[in-house]
A and B are shown apart, each in its own frame.
Chain A
Amino acid sequence: QVQLVQSGAEVKRPGASVKVSCKASGYTFAGYYIHWVRQAPGQGLEWMGRIHPTSVDTNYAQNFQGRVTMTRDTSITTAYMELSGLRFDDSAVYYCARASEGLDFWGQGTLVTVSS
């Protein structure tokens, strides 16, 4: 069965970077984009960007241009999202999701807390 398992919660200082992983299993990793979506406390969903596992094609939302980097390691079927220059308002749950017809499978979410 398709599964996306994300890394655990993180607490970071302002200005630091965080790297969240998303381990995929149960399907051909190379065949589907992985998207990243975040949700600040009590807020809606915000699309951050996507990466194709083989072509390494990436697209980032304008709000995150220059601060986000999405990568992958096909040997371990894992996608990564790194966000730098963390601010207090980057505190959120970060989700990865597989894109098929729609974002059909989602990770469990990773809570990132930015605190001094």
Chain B
Amino acid sequence: IVMTQSPLSLPVTPGEPASISCRSSQSLLHTNRYNYLDWYLQKPGQSPQLLIFLGFNRASGVPGRFSGSGSGTNFTLKISRVEAEDVGVYYCMQTLQTLYTFGQGTKLEIK
């Protein structure tokens, strides 16, 4: 499954919202009605960290300004109000097929 993110670069003013799109070449909707799509953030110089799993569930400790939505082949990660600490590269990853695949990444920077 090929994952395609857009945009690849996202300059955002602090306090403003941000949105990242992720599209999959095949539906990620399982028969159990869950979408097998996760979101990760890799801050500069750090290991990736889990933000969202199964499409919309926030991982433990993830601030409420992060939300995931979408179904099938189209997904969105939204940040309601960007903060300086949100800079880094955001990745979506499909987990429907056993051989997982990541999107190319979206680099969020502060204007």
A-B pair count, CB < 8 Å, reads 57
CB distance from A19 to the nearest CB of B (A): 20
Contact with A along B21-59 (1 / 0, CB 8 A): 000000000000000001010100001111011100101
A46 contacts the other chain (CB 8 A): yes
Asked whether B99 lies within 8 Å of A62 as measured between CB atoms, the reply is yes
Asked whether A45 lies within 8 Å of B50 as measured between CB atoms, the reply is no
B75 contacts the other chain (CB 8 A): no
Q: A109: which B residues are within 8 A, CB to CB?
A: 47
Q: B49: which A residues are within 8 A, CB to CB?
A: 106
The residue in B40, B52, B57, B104 that gathers the most chain A C-beta atoms within 10 A of its C-beta is B40
CB distance from A58 to the nearest CB of B (A): 10
A56 contacts the other chain (CB 8 A): no
Contact with B along A52-86 (1 / 0, CB 8 A): 00000001111000000000000000000000000
Question: How far apart are the CA atoms of A101 and B93 in the complex, in Å?
Answer: 13
CB distance from A93 to the nearest CB of B (A): 9
Asked whether A44 lies within 8 Å of B89 as measured between CB atoms, the reply is yes
Q: B60: which A residues are within 8 A, CB to CB?
A: 104
Question: How far apart are the CA atoms of A107 and B46 in the complex, in Å?
Answer: 10
CB distance from B5 to the nearest CB of A (A): 9
CB distance from B20 to the nearest CB of A (A): 14
Asked whether B48 lies within 8 Å of A104 as measured between CB atoms, the reply is no
Asked whether A44 lies within 8 Å of B47 as measured between CB atoms, the reply is no
CB distance from B51 to the nearest CB of A (A): 8
Please name 24 pairs of A and B residues whose Cβ atoms are closer than 8 Å in the assembled complex, sorted by A. Answer: A44-B91, A44-B104, A44-B105, A45-B48, A46-B102, A47-B93, A47-B99, A47-B100, A47-B101, A59-B99, A60-B99, A62-B99, A95-B48, A97-B48, A101-B53, A101-B57, A102-B50, A102-B53, A103-B38, A104-B53, A104-B59, A106-B49, A107-B47, A109-B47
Q: Which residues of A contact B (CB under 8 A)?
A: 35, 37, 44-47, 50, 59-62, 95, 97, 101-104, 106-109
Q: Which residues of B contact A (CB under 8 A)?
A: 38, 40, 42, 47-50, 52-54, 57, 59-60, 89, 91, 93, 95, 98-105
